[in-house]
Chains A and B, each alone.
Chain A
């Protein structure tokens, strides 16, 4: 199985901050990488698919980049509704998720 790691595991940030979350795959996965946002008690929400494509309806402050083994989710200006846990997920082989990055209020 392909293992996914994320860093940091948590971060504290303020509204308006630029936030970057990293995701690394244990082997090359091309661009088969997706990002989700999950708020407490809610189902995950797809934000970015195929590494860099923005899901319809997702604010443009979210962006994704990377290919191969290293990927990044960037929130250009953090908003109050963005405090959540973010997961990356590979679909190159049997799907696996990263352990998540919790973004909370500084």
Chain B
């Protein structure tokens, strides 16, 4: 079965850190651009960061630049998000997702496979 499974979320105080992980099974993660998308409680979706297949390119939404770091370990078929200097507004479900590839083309920023999400709550 093809799936992505996130872990590492939890309750953290403002200013704290967490490392989110996303383990892929049933497919080879190294073939895909990977992305983190988050969703605050009761709110819409927000693109957070993405990383190229070989890790050579990484991009972030402005609100997390300098605080979040996306990385991957293709040998472990895993994606990560290191989140530092957490703020209340970072409270959200964090999803990892892979790019969509049709039979003829791949779309870096169309999101096909999604994990179930991991909840990050920033509160004192």
Contacts and interface: CB of A to CB of B under 8 A. Distances in A.
B109 A95 contact: yes
Contacts of A43: 95, 97, 114-117
A53 B61 contact: no
B107 A49 contact: yes
Given A95-B47, A97-B44, A46 B115 contact: no
Interface in A59-93: 87, 89, 91
A7 interface: no
B89 interface: no
Nearest to B46: A97
A34 B117 CA distance: 20
Interface in B17-62: 35, 37, 44-47, 59, 61-62
Contacts, number: 60
A1 B45 CA distance: 15
A43 to B, nearest CB: 4
A46 B112 contact: yes
B61 A94 contact: yes
B110 A46 contact: yes
Chain B contact residues, majority secondary structure = strand
Interface string A26-54: 00000010101010000111100110010
Contacts of B97: 43
Contacts of B111: 34, 36, 44, 46, 89
A91 B110 contact: yes
B110 A87 contact: no
Interface string B102-124: 10000111111011110000000
25 contacts: A1-B62, A36-B111, A43-B95, A43-B97, A43-B114, A43-B115, A44-B37, A44-B114, A46-B111, A49-B107, A50-B110, A87-B44, A87-B45, A89-B109, A89-B111, A91-B107, A91-B108, A91-B109, A91-B110, A94-B59, A95-B47, A97-B44, A97-B45, A97-B46, A99-B44
Those 3 A-B pairs whose CB atoms lie nearest each other, nearest first: A91-B109, A43-B114, A95-B47
